Structure 1
C-alpha cells in the first residue's frame, strides 16, 4: 500500500499578496506542502522581519490544527529534519492581539486537508486564509518616541534589533527581485540597497544559507501548471517554488 508521502501531490511553496481589504499589517499569505524534497537537511528557514502565523495539519487529516506565532528570525536557521505535510498561514508586520480560535480555524483545516490531496483545493485554501486574515485585530500604531526608546521597543516587540530588522527587510526585498527580474545580479544588488554584488552575496548566505544565483534558480514566479491558472491565485502570486 502506498505511503502517505507517495500519495501526496508534488511539493510546492506559494506566496501570495493579501486581499485588497486585508489589514495593512498583513504582508502575505503562504502555502507550503512538502514530502521532504524542498525541506531536506541542507535547507532551512530564511531570516525574516515578519511574524509568521502558521496553521499545520497533522499527518492524519482528522487531527486538529496546530497554530503557532513565530517572531522575526534574524538569521538563517538550518532544519534539523525534513518536513512532510502541509502548512499555511500569514506573514505579519506586527503581532496580532490574539490568535484565532478553533471555530475560525475549522474552514482552514478542511481546506488544508483538500490541498494535501491535490491542487484543486488551492482556491478554497486561499479563501480560508483571507477569512483568517480578516478576523485578526492589531493594536493601535505605536506613538513617536525618541530614537533610543524606539530601538528598545523594537527589540522588546520582536526580539531583534532595529538594525537587524532593516537588514532582513532589505534581504526580503531582494528575494522578491530575484524571483521577478532577470536583470544582472549586480543591478539587483544596488536596487535592493546593497553596496555591491559581494555585499549582497554575503547577505544571502547569512539570511538564506545559499548564494543569490541558487536562490534565483529555485524561484519560479508566474510559471503555472493547469492547477494554478485560477485567477484568484494567478493574479496574487508573488512566488512559486516547485
Structure 2
C-alpha cells in the first residue's frame, strides 16, 4: 500500500445517504481525503451525536479500523491529517463489529482512493456492503425521562441537552449548501433562536462562522467520478476546498 505522502488526488470530504436496504441506525456514509489542506493545524473535527465506524489509511502505515463514540465538542487538531478515511456514522452501536477479514476489501478500495477519484464508486460500493451487514439491537420500549437521560449518557457519554445541540448542528450542516436561503432563515429552519445563536454554535462545534462553512459546502457538485446517477442522487454534502 502506498504511503499517504504519495497522495495524488485532491482533498475531499463527502457524505452520502446509506443504501435503501440498510438499517435505520445508519445515518450516512462518509469519505475524507486530505493532505493538510482541509485539516490544517488549529482546525478541527466537527462535534457529532453519532458513532463513527471507519477505516483509515495514513502515514502510520497500513489500514486500521476503529469505532469511535460521539464527540461532545469541537476538537482542535495538533497536526494536519495526511491520508484518507471512510466509514459509516451510526445512531447507536452495532451488535457486532466487522472482523478484520471483512474489512480487507474496504481497505483495498480506500488505498486506491488515495490516488484517484476513479476509485470512489468502488469505495462507496464497499461501504454499502458494510452497511448492509451491520445489525443493531431492537429499540427499547417506553421509559421515563430520567431513565432516558441515563441511557443517553451511558451510550454516548454526552448529556441529552448536548446531544440535542449536536443534532441541531448536524441538521444545519446538511442545509448550509443551499445558497439561496439567507443565514437568518437558515438559522430558524435548523432550530436556532436567531442568527447569532447559530453563529455561536458553528464556532463552538466547527471552529468557524457559518459564512465560512457555507463557502466550503457545495450541493452535489463533485466531478465526473460521482456523476453516476446511483451515486450522485445520494450525495448529501461535498467539501473540496
- Where does 1:59-74 land on structure 2 (aligned, <5 Å)? 59=59, 63=62, 65-74=63-72
**DSSP-derived class of the 2:208 partner:** coil
Q: Is the 8 A contact 2:48 2:70 kept in 1?
A: yes
Per the alignment, residue 19 of structure 1 pairs with 19
How many residues are paired up? 238
- Unaligned segments of structure 1, at least 5 residues: none
**DSSP-derived class of the 2:177 partner:** helix
1:26 & 1:181 partners in 2: Cα distance?
27
Q: Is the 8 A contact 1:123 1:232 kept in 2?
A: no
Per the alignment, residue 53 of structure 1 pairs with 53
How far is the alpha carbon of 1:60 from its aligned partner? 8.4
RMSD: 1.5
Per the alignment, residue 217 of structure 1 pairs with 215
**DSSP-derived class of the 2:21 partner:** coil
**TM-score normalised by the chain length of structure 1:** 0.94
Off by >6 Å, runs of 4+ in structure 1:
none
**DSSP-derived class of the 2:114 partner:** helix
Q: Is the 8 A contact 2:4 2:82 kept in 1?
A: no
**TM-score normalised by the chain length of structure 2:** 0.94
2:234 alignment partner, one of 227, 233, 236: 236
**DSSP-derived class of the 2:176 partner:** helix
* 1:14-41 Cα deviation digits (max 9, x unpaired): 1100010010000000011111111111
- Where does 1:80-229 land on structure 2 (aligned, <5 Å)? 80-229=78-227
Greater alpha carbon shift after TM alignment, 84-93 vs 94-103: 94-103
* 1:186-237 Cα deviation digits (max 9, x unpaired): 0011111111111111111111111100100011122132222122321111
2:165 & 2:222 partners in 1: Cα distance?
31
